[in-house]
Every structure is written in C-alpha cells, then in structure tokens.
Structure 1
C-alpha cells in the first residue's frame, strides 16, 4: 500500500480531497450551506496555508479550469437562445455601464490617494467582473436559471467574458506592453466567427449532429464525442485569443439546437461535478490565512465596500431597464462578488509591475472572500421584505 502511495502521490492527494469534501459537506449540510461554500472551505483547510495536505495549486487550478469550461457547456445546453438574444440590451449596455461605473468609483478613491491611471483602471476592471461559476451554480441549485432574473444575469456574465479580451489589451497597453497586430486581428476574426455561428443557429432553429444515429446507440463513444465537442470549441476560441469557457458555451448552444441534450447530460454530468468542485477548491487554496489575519481590518473593510458598491451599481442598472426593485436588488446581489477572471487581470498587473506584491495579495484575498461570502450575501438580500413592483 505504501509503495502504491509513494509511486502515485497524486492518488493520495485526490483521496484526501474527496474525504475532506465529504466531511466538510456533511457538517455544512446540517447548516444548509450550498456546495460552493463546501468546496471553498475544503480548499482553505487542505491547502498550503492551513493543513498543507495539498500544496500543488497549479495542478488543482488547471483541473479546476476544466470545471468552468464544463459548467458553461451545460449552461449552453439549458438556456434559451431566443430569450438571450431578445435581452441583448440588458446584457450589452448593462455590462458596459457596469464597467464604466466601477472604474469611475475607483477613480473617485484613487484621485484622493493620487493613484496612477494604470492602477485605477486595473482595480476598476477587477471589481467589474462577477463570478460566472458561483452565480450559475447558485442559480442552478435554486432552479432560477430560466427565470427572467437568471436570464438577464447570465447575459451580463457572457458579455463580461467577451470583455476580458479588451480589458487585457488595455492593461497591456497601460503597462507599456502592447498586444501585437496579429493577436488583435485573431481576436476580431474570432469574434466575427462566433457571432456568425450563433446567428446561423438562431435562424436555422434546429441542427443535426454528425453521426447522430450511431451515437445514440453507443454510450461509451458518446462520452468521448461530448468531451471532444465541448473542449474542441474551447480550443478554437482559445486559439483566437478568446475565453475558452465562451467556446464551451457556444458548443452547448449547438447541442441544444440539435435536441440531443439528454445523452450529453448523462455522459458528462459526473465529470462536471468533479471538475467544478476542483475549481472552487483551488479558490479556497489561494486564501492565505496568515496574510488575512495580519490585515484583517483592511481586508474586511474592502470586502464590505466591494460587495456594497457592486450591489448598488448593478441594482441601479437593472432598475434602469424597468426590472422590479425586488428583482433588481436580487440581480445586484448575484453580481456583487468579484469573479474568477479577475485573478487573471490581477496577475497581469502584478507581473507588469502595475501593482505591488502587497497589492496583489490584497486583491487575491478580497476576491477569494467575496466568492466565499457571496452565497450568504445573496441569501440575505433575497429575504429582504421588498415589493415586487
């Protein structure tokens, strides 16, 4: 047995993760907490900053990124493309306003403290992105994905994923490292191809998968075909410098248009559960409890300011699109945390020396805690006695 463990250290790590998820899950289930909280706390406990059972953050993070791709693939299979397109004003205009207001809010603070333009824009971009993984998981668990609020929030999340590219280009420009013309051309071409493909599906109504009749009768081949389609689309969008999760979402829409979602769901659901769990566990592993404790007051204040600011910005924008106050506040709460893609923006700014090591650690801590506290914040807002008018 010891020889097996020594020759397969990764096996021990995954067994440890599985046992920790079960133990933490059983405890938090009695407190009626969602699985998102279970996974993040599990990552915190077994991660390098507490017990140190699992220290290979790169491995867990890489596997966890597959969970985000699979999650968007499943969402693409479940949403209504017609409803998504009909609500484009909320998705596009609402997201652009959200980014602008976030940058302006940071500018108001940065002007007082004499921050550079690069730092203001970096922090503004970081604050403007919400968590696709957290929000979608909570909407799925509550059965609200098809509700008007769920559809509007999903549209905003998708536009945010698209805006990651111009945000990265902007930060690179501010740091003095401009993107090459080849990269920009690839991204533009990729964007055009995505719009054209989605438009084709939208107007055609129903499509057919290749080898459909053969696939229906062979479950094992179904698994590989589903994997190939999901991650194949992800690789294509990644090649064009766009979000891999966005590619998986487009693949899901394609599957939905072929009326083949049942066997795709059966083939990949277990993989989705595992990889999505690893994604949130990797978030928990990022939380440095020592840094958190040494800066507890500043971090706590920043977390509350971020949640309140994002909550108000998004709620006001939603209300501006004639949503009821109850739905607007709920949508604001859903979008109030800082998203996983903000880690990417923070890393880029740190490597380009736009923010200090302390600033980067602060960003990681605040993002992680907003993700951890988000379900509590959303649940609290949902219970507010507000009229539906």
Structure 2
C-alpha cells in the first residue's frame, strides 16, 4: 500500500504541474518517476511490473478506440504514404544512431522500433484541443498514427520471440493475425448487435470489458503479448457511435491508470547518468528534425499544401507511448538492459515535452517562411475597391469561385507558398504574407478594399486589420465559438460562423450592393 500511495502522490503532483503549465502531464510524470527511482522509495520491482502491465492494457485499449479508419475518410492514401515513409525513415535513423553509439544489434533494433512510431495520445489530444480532428491534415495525422501503431503491434511480438527461433516468430505473427481477424468479427458482427439492444450503462460497461478480456484470453492462449490484444480490442470498438460509449464508460478508468502507468514507468529504468541523457538527447533531436522534414516533403508530394504538411510533421514529431511498451516488453523479457530502457524513456520525455511548443502558431508560421518556394511578387500598385480575402485554403474555394464570376477584383493574402502558387496559376492576385502583418495589409490595400472576408483559423488575428481600417471597410470574420463572435462584434467586425457561411454572407452583401447600385439615379452627362 505504501508503494501505491507514493505513486498516487506523484501522479497528483504531475497533473497539478501539467494544469499549471498547460503542458501534457506525461513528461512530468515520467520525469518524476525517474527522479523517484533514484531515491529507491519504491523498491519492489515485481509490484512495479504488475502495475505497468495492468495499466498499459487499459491505456492501449482506450487509445485504440480513437483510431477508427472511417475518420480518416478520403485521406487514407496520403496517411498511408506518410505513415510508412516516416516509420521506415525514423527506424533507419534510430538504427544508424544506435550503431554509431556502439549499441549491440538487439539494443539497436529496439531503439529503432521505439523511434519509428509517433504518440497517439499526444497527437489526438492536441488535435481535439485545437478543433482540428476533421481538417484534412488532422485526418491524415490520425491515419498515419493508426498505421504506425498497427505496424508496432505486428512487429513487436515477432521481435520479442526472435531469440526463440523462426518457428516462434511465425507462431507469434500468426496469433496476431488471428486477433486481427477477431477485430473484423467484433466490428461487423458484435457491435451492431450491441447497438440494437440499447443496453443500459452498466451492461454496456460489462460488454466493453467482456470484449477486452476476450481478446486478452485469446492472446494468452496463442502466446501473443497481452498489450497487442488490448490495443486490437480497442480498435474493434472504434466505430461510431460505439467508440463514444466506450469513452464514456472507460474514461474514469483510463484517467486513473494513465496516471499510475506514467508515474511508475521510470522506476523500471536504470538511474540516468549524463551519458544516457546525452544519448537520449541525440535520439530526440533526430525525431524532432527528421520527422517534420520527412512528413512535409512526402505530404506536399501527396497533395497537402505547405502549412498542413509541415504542421502534420510537427504533430508527429515525438516518440509514442507504444515506444515505452516496446522498451518495457523487451526489458521484462531480458533482451535489453535498464540503460537502454532509460534512453527510450528519456527520449519520450524530451519529445513529448517539446511537441506543444513546436506546434504553436508562431513556430509553424516561422518555419513556413523558410519554405523553398517562389517568394511573393510585389504588386505593381496598391489595389482599391476590391474584395480582400484573408486565407486562400480549401475553405476559400467556394467564395473564390463565386468571386471569379463577378466583376470585382479579388486579392488573396495567404502565408502558405503552395496555396499562393496554385491561386496565381488560376489567375487570382495574391500577396504572400501573414494577414496579421500591417505591412502585408498595406500592400494588399486593406484600407481601400470594398469588403474584407477573413477565413483565418484564429479570428483574433484580424485585430490589427480592424484597428487599421476602423469603420471604413466591412469586415466579415469566420468564427467557430460564441466568445469569438462576441470579440469580433466588440471590435467592429461582423462574425460569420464557418467558411461557407462567410461566403453566403458575402454574396448577400454583394447582391444588396448590386441592387443599390442599380436603383441609384444615373447622373446626367455633362
């Protein structure tokens, strides 16, 4: 009980610091557990291992319910390409760095696999917090995470059994395939029946736990690692709307076991020394540099524009909670030592800690400015009596299509070089730059515009424009929340919910202006 009380105390402290700093709790919990390990306060390895394996089963089960292939939608091809290239590229980089640091072949294999996948927990939580789950690049990130998790789940059982010979590896992979077949059976057969029954909350929880324990029972019989069964059981229940039921019933258990897992994980690792910290920093640097570069290049080649491709890479630039499972499973099997496991844990701490910083708006736009694309051509003269559109991405297409049919000149301001190049190829005048920058607004004729339509992701970004033009130009601003609409109104703008609504509002204004112009008397000719 003393060990459990210590772990709960560490978990409470870690979540408290997380809420205060607005960073994910996982790095604080891992760092705290590493520090606690150095004190020797929890000295029972068997207790720590039991806690870890019980906790990770619940975590992976709930995480699997977030990874529905249906959510990826039409971006499956892009997600598959990004996921595979990143996985292979990071695994190769991990192997190369490990060999360069004189790790043995087995240690290098596990380090490479630990670097290959990105964190589902961190990626999904950031997308949910920023309301980007259903944007094209958000769906692409979800698809890449799903693919990478499945690859780890398929590869790790074989890697664990590698010392036992080829027959053991084939048997383990065969058992995993049997569980994958079970995923299809539950999705297509069991879940529809459960939905038709309209079960009460208690029975739903029992049904969910029954699926989890059923998968784990089959895994134990087939000699497949139990974490594989837990993850695949979650995927089998990931379809809408049953995944929402699972989250509602399992969320309290998930929160509890999440805190316990990450608070106890560092205790299974060796005490980190400066050498191990340096190695982890090198591996983390490879993840933070190579992942955005690989994903940005592959994403643009597959059809994403520059900013979403880069933002996808930054969201994927951390090692996964499955990386910790990889290290833990190998440690318990005696295939790696505590030092290698410490490197995996520290790499996860470093990368997860930096991800929220790297994905901030400021960092993303600064990196986009270094994009090797054609720079903005200075307009020959400042336009006037035109329609100024801030943001020229997918959401602007309906509006721009309508504007091209009108007689009004249109100018688009967008920071993304790929978007600017595509619009210029269609004959649309563009200014490449940040719509919040006063010099860009001057070049685009913000004060001389007939109307401004802002489709920027952050509605408050039009603040400088509202200050600049005052009440002289109508400004329509896309918003998502009530508090955003209230802020825009207070600043003198007109809030419009969603981009299509912004297009409709503009067209209403446009028709009204046309009608007014037609009803005005024509002045006599001199």
TM-score of the superposed pair, with normalisation by structure 1? 0.74
Aligned to 1:32: 22
Q: Do structure 1's residue 282 and structure 2's residue 264 form an aligned pair?
A: yes
1:173, 1:348 → 2: CA distance? 11
Deviations 1:135-167 (A, max 9, x none): 233333444333333322222222222222553
Aligned to 1:327: 308
13, 36, 60: which is aligned to 1:69?
Answer: 60
Q: Do structure 1's residue 137 and structure 2's residue 125 form an aligned pair?
A: yes
Change (3 A) 1:70 1:347: closer
1:113, 1:268 → 2: CA distance? 42
2:32, 2:97 → 1: CA distance? 35
40, 44, 51: which is aligned to 1:60?
Answer: 51
Q: Which runs of 5+ in 1 are unaligned?
A: 1-8
Aligned to 1:161: 149
Deviations 1:91-135 (A, max 9, x none): 333322223323443566578789887666544333212222332
- Give the drift of 1:20: 3.5
1:191, 1:175 → 2: CA distance? 24
Q: What RMSD in Å do the two structures reach over aligned CA positions?
A: 4.0
Correspondence 1:178-189 to 2 at 5 A:
178-180=166-168, 181-189=170-178
69, 84, 87: which is aligned to 1:99?
Answer: 87
Number of residues of Structure 1 aligned to a counterpart in Structure 2: 364
Q: Which runs of 5+ in 2 are unaligned?
A: 369-414, 420-526
Higher strand share: 2
- Give the drift of 1:322: 1.5
Aligned to 2:254: 272
Relative CO higher for 1 or 2, CA cutoff 8 Å, sep ≥ 6?
1
70, 79, 83: which is aligned to 1:82?
Answer: 70
2:234, 2:64 → 1: CA distance? 5
- Give the drift of 1:65: 0.5
SS where residue 297 of structure 2 aligns? helix
1:348, 1:271 → 2: CA distance? 22
Q: Do structure 1's residue 228 and structure 2's residue 219 form an aligned pair?
A: no
Q: Do structure 1's residue 126 and structure 2's residue 99 form an aligned pair?
A: no
Higher helix share: 1
1:117, 1:359 → 2: CA distance? 12
Change (3 A) 1:66 1:375: farther
1:225, 1:174 → 2: CA distance? 35
Q: Do structure 1's residue 43 and structure 2's residue 24 form an aligned pair?
A: no
- Give the drift of 1:209: 0.8
Deviations 1:249-283 (A, max 9, x none): 333235x3xx4566544332211211222232234
Aligned to 1:293: 274
Change (3 A) 1:227 1:70: same
Tell me if structure 2 keeps the 8 A contact 1:99–1:124.
no
Tell me if structure 1 keeps the 8 A contact 2:314–2:358.
yes
